[in-house]
Amino acid sequence: MHGGIEAYLLLGGNTGDPPATLLRATELVGERVGEVFARSRDHWTEPQGFDDHRLFLNVALGVRTVLAPEHVLHECLAIEAELGRTRQAGAGLGPRPIDIDLVLYGGLVVEGPSLQVPHPRMAGRRFVLAPLADIAPQAPHPQLGRSVLDLLLSLPILA
């Protein structure tokens, strides 16, 4: 694919077979969203916002897409559902086989009822920034004017 926007997705999951699920999700993103031009290494992390004994597998993808951000979100939600993710209104955070977040979409800022880009909590989340720094360390946060790597390095050191 030539042209298009460089978008960055974060994939994660901690139930079922996370490596196989994320591999299949990556294939489906390539088929439905756009050319996957980069994939981070695997990052295994503790769950954030809830207790669970299973670690999350997180990876970042760089995707070249011609889809609008809302359409990228629609495709990501459809892929999640196909891979066994069920969303319940008001259920909050919990274990899941797959989660796909649109973290960055070029330099665009989107403030909609169902989509916010850049992801509103990415700047404070190591599990987002570390995989993203693997593939796009210099990508700028369009609202903060700081690179992904700078944001990652500014987080508190883990004990």
- Catalytic residue, candidates 64, 96, 121, 126: 96
Phi/psi region, residue 73 (left: phi>0; alpha: psi -120 to 50; beta: rest), is alpha
> So where are the chain's domains?
5-153
Residue 51 confidence (pLDDT): 73
Catalytic residue flag (residue 96): yes
Catalytic residue flag (residue 99): yes
CA atoms within 13 A on the CB side of 32: 17
Query: Which CATH number, 3.40.50.11540, 3.30.1360.180, 3.90.550.10, 3.30.70.560, labels domain 5-153?
Result: 3.30.70.560
Average pLDDT over residues 2-12: 91
Residue 92 confidence (pLDDT): 57
**At which residue do the structure tokens 């996957």 appear?**
36
Res. 154: pLDDT tops 60: yes
CA atoms within 13 A on the CB side of 78: 11
Q: What angle do CA 39, 67, 97 make, to 5 degrees?
A: 50
- Catalytic residue, candidates 32, 99, 121, 134: 99
Res. 43: pLDDT tops 60: yes
- Catalytic residue, candidates 85, 87, 125, 146: 85
The pTM assigned to this predicted structure is 0.92
In which band, very low, low, confident or very high, does the pLDDT at 2 lie, cut at 50, 70 and 90?
Answer: low
- Catalytic residue, candidates 41, 54, 64, 101: 101
Catalytic residue flag (residue 52): no
In which band, very low, low, confident or very high, does the pLDDT at 62 lie, cut at 50, 70 and 90?
Answer: very high
In which band, very low, low, confident or very high, does the pLDDT at 159 lie, cut at 50, 70 and 90?
Answer: low
Residue 140 confidence (pLDDT): 95
User: Which has the closest alpha carbon to 38: 83, 6, 73?
Assistant: 6
